[in-house]
Structure 1
């Protein structure tokens, strides 16, 4: 199992809290979609002993409103919730389709969450998750539409980098969901035919006629349409002006910094901050012909806490999955940018940080969501946060 960047993730190992329920089956009607590629269901574990007692189960391979038989895959009597798979569909949603990949389904490859769902409904489910997280964590009611991105074939053949597991017989496989078990896979249908495995060395990627040096085993968006659409979304949101001062935080190889530096011109200033030394070196190369754009190597929280404390006009914030968190948000607000473009791959972290920005006087003005990872539950958002309050310069109002 991997995340959007292709990095394997291991489930947390927890001590058992009572008798295991793994393998037990229940019939139920499935509730709403939840963050993480599953839906919420409720079952009555002991109808004879406690007919009113219910347990929440996070169920994969289903769609809200379906009647299914689910099988518990993780859970004990002492757990607050269980996990499960829909192993039999008794009443199907009209949005249910036959998964195009033979390796998708209960007990199989864990890479795709929604292959059983029509593509337009997949995007509706992702939009519902983003809305729910913003409502629950940031107390905002925000309309969300997940936009399709050019570069895939009806949700397939988009992944430019894929990490397989080598098998003893010379074959290759993928991890099962939340497991180290390997499922042999001959052809991953979300991978492009020319998809590469992460490997040392330098690659060159082109975005809007600009060339970027990228580490072959470093971070770069895996959907071929992603870099362009994200750059255009950030520039459209921020509307950088000549002479402005900009910070690009978690800058990677300088994708946003490059176009922002061109927009503010030589009378402006762009600082890219990146914690990975190899990515920072590539950023210096990618920005080398723009002397008003600099690169600082170091973790964003430490750099902001120790240096570059002068005011700035704009900030691009593109943190890893765990988000920016309160200390970084407070350091950004202390520099009083007129606007922040937050690029987020996790809606829960985004919503939490939007709430932190609200405490600092920043309001969520716009939100766009992009389907950069079709067939999975992942979604990418670009949020525009603007400064409000008495210290907002009159010239910034528009």
Structure 2
């Protein structure tokens, strides 16, 4: 495996992949050559390379693409053109057209594409899914997904990309929530929505650039309704303009009960259940998912799952998520319902799998 992009998120992937017997990291590359050399020095089989050399290397079968969103399509295309499968951070690309081009190129080359988020394969979302599939809430009717923050400039020393194409709250955080909703309720048929940009500039509050004002090029408060093929309706709010919320990150409502689901940006958020006529919510035991999941389990799942349709963190699912987000943006801009042009299978559920098993041979 070769890794392109060694920013903050790479540390989490490296911790998982270095501990797994399914992969060997043979190459790393970054725009900062010194950073690449430092990372390579800590990996017994890895060499620091340029991006071009990594993509062409005979020692790389799979490329892990951890670059910024604007570069996702370019790096993916470079890997595919060299006959390598690729797994990337979310979103798959910054536009649906670029996402389609990735999958079309992969199909032509006969290689596979996978994509984050893989947090949805942990015990949090998978326990909620098992509860739904077991009929615990009756027929699923609706869901809500809420993510609010006052802005990444409060903590991030270089938050510029969060306020450019592909980094807004919908494209940055939406993949976690929309992928979770697809796991829970199935694919999406159409969307409606609205969005706003309350602030044209943001002031960095942390790091050496504190006090610097940066421009905002995207809408930073997005809300919408997702109509699932199943008939269920999900409402979604993604915002960088609010202080806090007491709402559960995800709630799923059925004819016989409700689930409160943990943060889909984590692997093991708690799921609570309230039955019809109950006096309160009750925490569910773990029912499914990769136990103690961590970044990279989606990649391991893709590598180990040879029948294509059984993989879970697939490019096809990521393209459907991308379609939902771009359609929601379009619906907000044009003021009408937008039908999605992609489809995706609801991914297979994940059996309750201990960490030692998914790091090793794993279990399907």
Same fold (TM over 0.5): no
Q: Which has the higher contact order (CA 8 A, sep 6+)?
A: 2
In the superposition, the TM-score normalised over structure 2's length comes to: 0.30
Is the helix fraction higher in 1 or 2?
Answer: 2
Is the strand fraction higher in 1 or 2?
Answer: 1
